Amino acid sequence: MAEASYPDDLRYHPEHDWARIEGDTAVFGVTWFAQDALGEVVFFDPPGLGTEVAKDSTYAEVESVKAVSDVYAPLSGEITEVNEQAKDKPELINTDPYGEGWMVKVELSDPSEAAALLDAESYKKLLDS
Amino acid sequence: MEAGALKRTPLYDAHVEAGAKLVDFSGWEMPVEYAGIRSEHEEVRTGCGVFDVSHMGEVESEGPGAGELLQRLLTNDISELEVGAAIYSCVCREDAGVLDDVFTYRLADKHFLTVTNASNHDKVLAWFERHAGDFDARVSDHLESYAMLAVQGPKAREVVGSLAQGELPARHRIADMNLGTGDALVCGTGYTGEDGVEVLVPPDEAAALWEQLVLAGATPAGLGARDTLRMEVNYCLYGNELSEERTPIEAALDWALVDGSGFIGEERCAEQMREGTEELLAPFVIDGEGIARQGNPVKLGDEAVGEVTSGTLSPSLGKGIGMAYVRTDLAEPGTEVEIDVRGRRRAARIGKRPLYKPAG
């Protein structure tokens, strides 16, 4: 997507990752800013199912022609689903970072961690600062 | 560095208008990409791309001893350089460490123009000035006198030719021409492996020339594509393959020096040519998954045998490629090594230059 956007229904991590929280589960991905900074994504390397991820730690790599970048977990939990389509078509991370370009689905180990994440307004302020 | 502190080329507004993503490159706010690195790369390989390379510096050397000065400062043989011709050289220290790699144009018998890398311009200018006193020559800084546009690709000559009166200069030749926007120095040089020209114009002419080139069919291309293009044909980038810690011999640039021409650093180069070097720069290809990057270790079993200087996904080959300094006995095409890419071993083999051969 060509224009920057930061949906209000997501929670954001300062390392440019988002979480869509539904009860005890959440979907993770990277923000418009992250994919724009990276350029065309050519490689997405997610962890295997069942992997434990820890909030603020890296869990995946995305790679563009010019650089490789770590993806940070906005929350802690266990990977229950990986976006296989984004592995085959990593450009989805550029074209639809909040939709078809999602990365993993996680069973949250401590949903209360979400209190530390930013809302869209705060994240946009962080980007402007 | 603060965005406000970055230098801008005369084409800054044109880049913003074309939707460029701008980055800090050696203190300059430069376009890294417009539509995307891969499509720009493809355009240069099959059509015509135009790059703003106005961040590059220019140093002119003039006077009765200018030829002798450059014979001393440049690794290539300047005494053989005809008026109207261009030549690639390194500039070396006494110990042959590379200060810069440059193109030099002979504008007149006693008048030369040397194009420097942005990051090295001040250093090279000071080096030239320091040695000019030993010869009857004047050295002057022309960084501000020129904007530089590189027009590259199999259709580049057709595009530039449509704006020109008369014939464009052949490869490694130069010509003063008018491309419809005023005076221009047109040079048959480039950094992509494709045919094309580089054009030096006064800064106030640059925006008009850029516009004319785009109207004539050139696609704006950024430094990102410039990097992937040069990697596919294994051209060195200062700061990656070249540094003061490396010599032209280690960088496999022996073709750009003439033993016996009297250049600074010659003795060390001659010694290395005689006795060999511990490491040599070599291109590599990763046939499977993985993209190596600068700094990744090269391994043979558990032994560290080198380090990657540049790496990318090759848009033309669809594979991870790059260059690395490796132990000299391993620098032969076909040699199998491994590259440690962020903790994962990737099988790589040393390739033959150029890794990609332009169709032209």
Q: Per residue, what are the HEC states of chain B?
A: CCHHHCECCCCHHHHHHCCCEEEEECCEEEEEECCCHHHHHHHHHHCCEEEECCCCEEEEEECCCHHHHHHHHECCCHHHCCCCEEEEEEEECCCCCEEEEEEEEEEECCEEEEEECHHHHHHHHHHHHHHHCCCCCEEEECCCCCEEEEEECCCHHHHHHCCCCCCCCCCCEEEEEECCCCEEEEECCCCCCCCEEEEEECHHHHHHHHHHHHHCCCEECCHHHHHHHHHHCCCCCECCCECCCCCCCCCCCHHHCCCCCCCCCHHHHHHHHHHCCCEEEEEEEECCCCCCCCCCEEEECCEEEEEEEEEEECCCCCCEEEEEEEEHHHCCCCCEEEEEECCEEEEEEECCCCCCCCCC
Note the pLDDT tens digit of each residue in B92-151: 999 999 999 999 999 999 999 999 999 999 999 999 999 999 999 999 999 999 999 999
Among A36, A39, A43, the residue with its CB nearest the CB of B291 is A43
Give the confidence band of A1 by pLDDT, cuts at 50, 70, 90.
low
Give the confidence band of A123 by pLDDT, cuts at 50, 70, 90.
very high
Q: Find the mean pLDDT for residues A32-60.
A: 95
Is any Cβ of chain B less than 8 angstroms from the Cβ of A67? yes
What are chain B's domains?
3-53+146-232 (3.30.1360.120), 55-142+247-275 (3.30.70.1400), 278-350 (2.40.30.110)
Among A36, A39, A63, the residue with its CB nearest the CB of B291 is A63
**CA of A40: which chain B residue's CA is closest?**
B36
For testing the chain B interface, which of A66, A70, A128 should be mutated: the one with the most B CBs within 10 Å? A66
Within 8 A of B35 by CB-CB distance, chain A residues are: none
Among B36, B289, B291, the residue with its CB nearest the CB of A40 is B36
Q: Looking at residue B360, what is its pLDDT? A: 61
Note the pLDDT tens digit of each residue in B24-70: 999 999 999 999 999 999 999 999 999 999 999 999 999 999 999 99
Enter the ipTM. 0.84
Residue ranges in chain B modelled with pLDDT below 50:
1, 3
The domain A11-110 is placed in CATH, from the list 2.40.110.10, 3.40.228.10, 2.60.120.10, 2.40.50.100, at 2.40.50.100
Is any Cβ of chain A less than 8 angstroms from the Cβ of B37? yes
